[in-house]
Amino acid sequence: MARPPVCKLMDYGKFKYESALKAREARRNQQQTVIKEMKLRPKIDSHDYETKKGHVMRFLKAGDKVKVTIMFRGREQHRPELGFRLLRRLEEEVAEMGFVESQAKQDGRNMIMVLAPHRNAKALARKGEGDGAIEALGDETVAEASAQG
């Protein structure tokens, strides 16, 4: 071990260049979080609701977060429980694909809830390519059950 302090003579330009390369590589490897938004109204028809729910499922399957916004107009603003009920129903129906990251809260005329995909949703979507992630998950559990029993 050296007793006196040891210093290294460096080419500062080369050092700056290499650190810039490392920073660029780190940025390239970062994960971009994409937030998709789905807008609903409290008096949505059942078919329209199913279509919007399908879009939310597709976004979650792709690994994106979904911001669900319910827009209230006029008298609808006095009945926020309709929006809560609608968001709760959506939350229960997409529970297998994602979870609620931020609970429903009233923000002026809008009520907002954020859904995030489960950690393995993207991997399951790739695995079940045409079948869908839910069926791939079901097949795994059936295979495990038959292996055990």
12's tokens: 């500062």
The model's pTM is 0.62
DSSP-H helix ranges across the chain? 12-28, 46-61, 80-93, 121-127, 133-148
- Judge whether 57 and 97 are in contact, CB under 8 Å: yes
Query: Which has more confidence, 111 or 6?
Result: 111
Reported as a pLDDT band with limits 50, 70 and 90, residue 3 is confident
Predicted local distance difference test score (pLDDT) of residue 34: 82
Place of tokens 């879009």: 55
Long-range contacts of 43-50 (CB under 8 A, 24+ apart): 43/76, 43/82, 44/86, 49/86
Per residue in 72-94, is it b (16+ CB within 10 Å) or e — as a string? beeebeeeeebbbebbeebbeeb
pLDDT digits (tens, 9 = 90+) for 116-140: 998 875 666 566 655 544 444 444 4
* Sequence-distant (≥ 6) Cβ neighbours of residue 111 within 8 angstroms: 69, 70, 72, 80, 83, 84, 87, 104, 105
Mean pLDDT across the chain, nearest whole number? 82
Q: How confident is the model at residue 33 (pLDDT cuts 50, 70, 90)?
A: confident
Cα–Cα distance, 91 to 146 (Å, whole number): 31
The token pair that represents 68 in the structure block? 């669900």
> With DSSP H G I counted as helix, E B as strand and the rest as coil, what are the percentages for the chain, rounded to 5?
50, 20, 30
